C-alpha cells in the first residue's frame, strides 16, 4: 500500500534530511514516497507550484512548515484546505495562523474549539483582559513636581500647577 508524504516549506533546507529519512524508511514502508516542495522555487518555476498542488491533492500526510509570506500562503492555501479533511493527517508548524489552523491529527484539530478537560480549565481560568484594557492607576502627584517639589508653572514646557492630581 503506497504512503505519500508531502512536505511544503519555505526553502530547500530540509532536502538532505528528507532524502536520508526516505532511504532509511524505504525498507519498512516499501510504497513510501516523500515529496519536498520549496516555496522559494515557485517564483522561478511556475510548474513547481503546479506539481506541489498536485502532490498535496494526492498526499496521505501533508506537512507544511515556515509558510508565512503572503504570496506563498495564497499559492497553496486552497489546495491545503481542499485536502485537509481527506488526508490521514495534516501537520502545519512555524507558519502563519491561517496555515496553522489547518493542522489535523485524528480527532485533534487546531481550528476546533477546546473540548473536554481543556475547555473546563479555560472556563475556570476566566477571561483574559487585553493589555492596556485596565485603567492605569494615576500617580498621586505629577511626575515633574513629585521629585523636585517645585512648581510645574516654573517650567515653560509644563504649565501645570504643582500638587496632587485631581
**In the structure grid, which three cell numbers stand for residue 70, read together?**
503572503
Of 11, 7, 18, 107, the C-alpha closest to 60 is: 7
pLDDT at site 114: 65
**In the structure grid, which three cell numbers stand for residue 22, read together?**
526516505
The yes-or-no verdict on residue 141 having pLDDT over 70 is: no
The yes-or-no verdict on residue 38 having pLDDT over 60 is: yes
* Average pLDDT, integer, range 136-140: 54
* Average pLDDT, integer, range 36-64: 96
pLDDT at site 79: 98
- The count of residues in the chain is 166
pLDDT-based confidence at 117, cuts 50/70/90? confident
pLDDT-based confidence at 64, cuts 50/70/90? very high
Instruction: List, for residues 18-37, the tens digit of each pLDDT value.
Output: 999 999 998 899 899 999 99
Choice among 38-47, 71-80, 104-113 with the minimum mean pLDDT = 104-113
CATH class of 3-112: alpha beta
- Ordered by start, the domain boundaries in the chain are 3-112
**In the structure grid, which three cell numbers stand for residue 132, read together?**
492596556
pLDDT at site 156: 54
Burial of 138 (0-12, 13-18, 19+ CB in 10 A): exposed
Q: Are 104 and 86 in contact (CB under 8 A)?
A: no
Amino acid at each position: 500500500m503506497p504512503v505519500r508524504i508531502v512536505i511544503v516549506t519555505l526553502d530547500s533546507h530540509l532536502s538532505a534530511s528528507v532524502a536520508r529519512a526516505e532511504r532509511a524508511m524505504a525498507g519498512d514502508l516499501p510504497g513510501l514516497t516523500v515529496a519536498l516542495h520549496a516555496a522559494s522555487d515557485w517564483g522561478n518555476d511556475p510548474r513547481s507550484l503546479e506539481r506541489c498542488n498536485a502532490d498535496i491533492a494526492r498526499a496521505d500526510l501533508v506537512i507544511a512548515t515556515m509558510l508565512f509570506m503572503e504570496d506563498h500562503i495564497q499559492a497553496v492555501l486552497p489546495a491545503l484546505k481542499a485536502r485537509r479533511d481527506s488526508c490521514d493527517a495534516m501537520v502545519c508548524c512555524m507558519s502563519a495562523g491561517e496555515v496553522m489552523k489547518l493542522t489535523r491529527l485524528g480527532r485533534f484539530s487546531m481550528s476546533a474549539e477546546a473540548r473536554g478537560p481543556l475547555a473546563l480549565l479555560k472556563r475556570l481560568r476566566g477571561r483574559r483582559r487585553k493589555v492596556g484594557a485596565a485603567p492605569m492607576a494615576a500617580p498621586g502627584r505629577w511626575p515633574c513636581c513629585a521629585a523636585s517639589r517645585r512648581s510645574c508653572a516654573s517650567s515653560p514646557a509644563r504649565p501645570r500647577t504643582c500638587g496632587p492630581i485631581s
